Amino acid sequence: MAKSKRRRPEAKKLRRDFSWIAVLGVILVIAGLVGLVYVAVATLTSMILFGWLLLIGGVVGLLHAVQARGTSFFWLGVIVAALNIAAGVVVIRRPDAAAAALTMFAALLFLSAGLFRVVGSLVVRGSQFGWTLLLGVFDLLLGILVLAEWPSSSQYVIGTFFSLALLFDGLGLLATGFGGRRIVGMVSDRIP
């Protein structure tokens, strides 16, 4: 009897924690949907955020390098930190150019991944042949579409990807939150 009384507050705490996960999921879904409506703003916001992350990471890396100045990795740490700081400053000052460069990189990544998937699926012909071939063709088409409109596509590609990532992460957290609450409810009901 004492165990069941102790488990009930734990179950309530777990249900509350899963509720917070679901709330975070709702916030991310809303942010993703807003980002899909305003993709140019999402692109600019993600570039500025990326620049600040590079800048802060560079400063932290520089502080770490200074603390480790007696080691053989000191100069490598200083160089990497300086590159992060410089890249952060450039991205913050020119988010449009950074978005264009990242869009070009993403397009080339899609093209190369698609080419490898198509060739790999045709050569190996494994059990997932059709799906791998379809994914490779999809990657190729996406890379071609992004490159065909480059550099104007850089105004919406990064923002679209960023917003879709927020949307799907939010949906995943919603599913985890509601599913976790349901499982805790089913388990706590069966405890005597």
For 117-164, the pLDDT digits (tens) are: 999 888 888 788 888 889 889 999 989 988 888 888 888 888 888 999
Mean pLDDT across the stretch 168-191?
80
DSSP class of residue 160? H
pTM: 0.69
Cα distances (angstroms) measured from residue 45 to each of 54, 114, 175: 14, 29, 27
CB contact at 8 A, 53 and 87: no
Q: Give exposure, 100-114, as e/b (b: 16+ Cβ within 10 Å).
A: bebbbebbeebbebb
Answer whether residue 73 shows pLDDT above 50: yes
Place of tokens 């995943």: 172
Residues with Cβ within 8 Å of 101's Cβ and at least 6 positions away in sequence, in order, are none
Mean pLDDT across the stretch 154-183?
88
Give the model's pLDDT for residue 180: 81
Q: Give exposure, 167-192, as e/b (b: 16+ Cβ within 10 Å).
A: bebbeebbeebeebbeebeeebeeee
Answer whether residue 2 shows pLDDT above 60: no
DSSP class of residue 167? H
Average pLDDT, the chain: 86
Of residues 95 and 69, more confidently modeled: 95
Distance, in Å, from the CA atom of 161 to the CA atom of 170, rounded to the nearest integer, reads 14
